[in-house]
Structure 1
């Protein structure tokens, strides 16, 4: 599946987490990242999104998985991982960029950086890196591993911040 089709599939899935009246529209792609906009209560918002390049183990149904980063205002960001299955209660998700690891706390099938004050450090590592790996445990106990390309993340985040 091409990267644009993968991002489009993730966009359709992402629309299930947005307000009912908000229908996301692809703005532009940058490398392996896409920028999407939606309108909620008359306000336009944007986010950057990508899908994994590899998923392990190969013999399980992973569902639809993606990373999403939304600007929070100023220079702040809100990164999250959305997985195609529920995560194990009480587990941690680990995102690694280069030699830097970030712990993420899951709820249902979404995980956020465990310490909110580390959100921007996580995004800075993404901008400086080339690959992000994500390790998670499903509610069934399956250990999963994903590799995401960071090609285009900086440009995508700049576009998302400029969105109106």
Structure 2
């Protein structure tokens, strides 16, 4: 029988203990990383857009936390865009409230292409006409009083037609149904406590 080598036995025990510690630390690291990821995801979901309507139609309404406060917005897309086959990005009309910035009823038109510089975008709501100024691929109302009249016309109207001219000279026409506009507008007013 050979003699027992205590040095090797001690070293082997040390290796076993170190492996166990490494496994425990790795498991704790994974648990911590998972918990941190879940917390970040939950925070992002809590601050991301939240739909305000159960069954949104053509117009949908959302609220979200951004920066220092709450924002509420509604969005609609055209039911028809002409000319057909023209390559464009997303086309939207947004109405936004940011009470913490004292912004209410801001109208933003996203046409999906760069607009002709210094051009105007025209909006017809039934028989009422409005002009918006072009900035890159968007159009905005310059006067808050006109903006308020535009939103009122959209609430009362049935159809809206938006016409713009691209940087290349292409004239576009986007037709929107205003069905459900008032419902979505009331939802963002309630959510952001805007009268």
TM score, norm. by length of structure 1: 0.79
* Alignment match, 1:25: 50
Deviations along 1:11-45, one digit per CA (max 9) or x if unpaired, are xxxxxxxxxxx632333254310011221135221
**Partner secondary structure for residue 89 of structure 1:** coil
Paired with 2:180 and 2:88, the residues of 1 have a C-alpha distance of 24
**Partner secondary structure for residue 95 of structure 1:** strand
Q: Is the 8 A contact 2:119 2:165 kept in 1?
A: yes
Q: Is the 8 A contact 1:77 1:120 kept in 2?
A: yes
**Partner secondary structure for residue 146 of structure 1:** strand
Q: Please identify which structure carries the higher strand content.
A: 1
Q: How large is the RMSD of aligned CA atoms in angstroms?
A: 2.0
Q: 1:82 aligns with which of 107, 110, 113?
A: 110
Paired with 2:108 and 2:148, the residues of 1 have a C-alpha distance of 12
Paired with 1:111 and 1:40, the residues of 2 have a C-alpha distance of 23
**Partner secondary structure for residue 90 of structure 1:** coil
In structure 1, list runs of 5 or more residues that go unmatched: 1-21
Q: Please identify which structure carries the higher helix content.
A: 2
Paired with 1:36 and 1:75, the residues of 2 have a C-alpha distance of 16
* Alignment match, 2:175: 147
* Alignment match, 1:66: 92
Asked if 1:34 corresponds to 2:60, the answer is: yes
Report the Cα offset of residue 82 of structure 1: 1.0
Paired with 1:41 and 1:98, the residues of 2 have a C-alpha distance of 37
In structure 2, list runs of 5 or more residues that go unmatched: 1-46
The structure showing larger relative contact order (alpha-carbon pairs under 8 Å, at least 6 residues apart) is 1
TM score, norm. by length of structure 2: 0.68
* Alignment match, 2:82: 56
Structure 1 consecutive aligned stretches of length 4 or more whose deviation exceeds 3 Å = 72-76
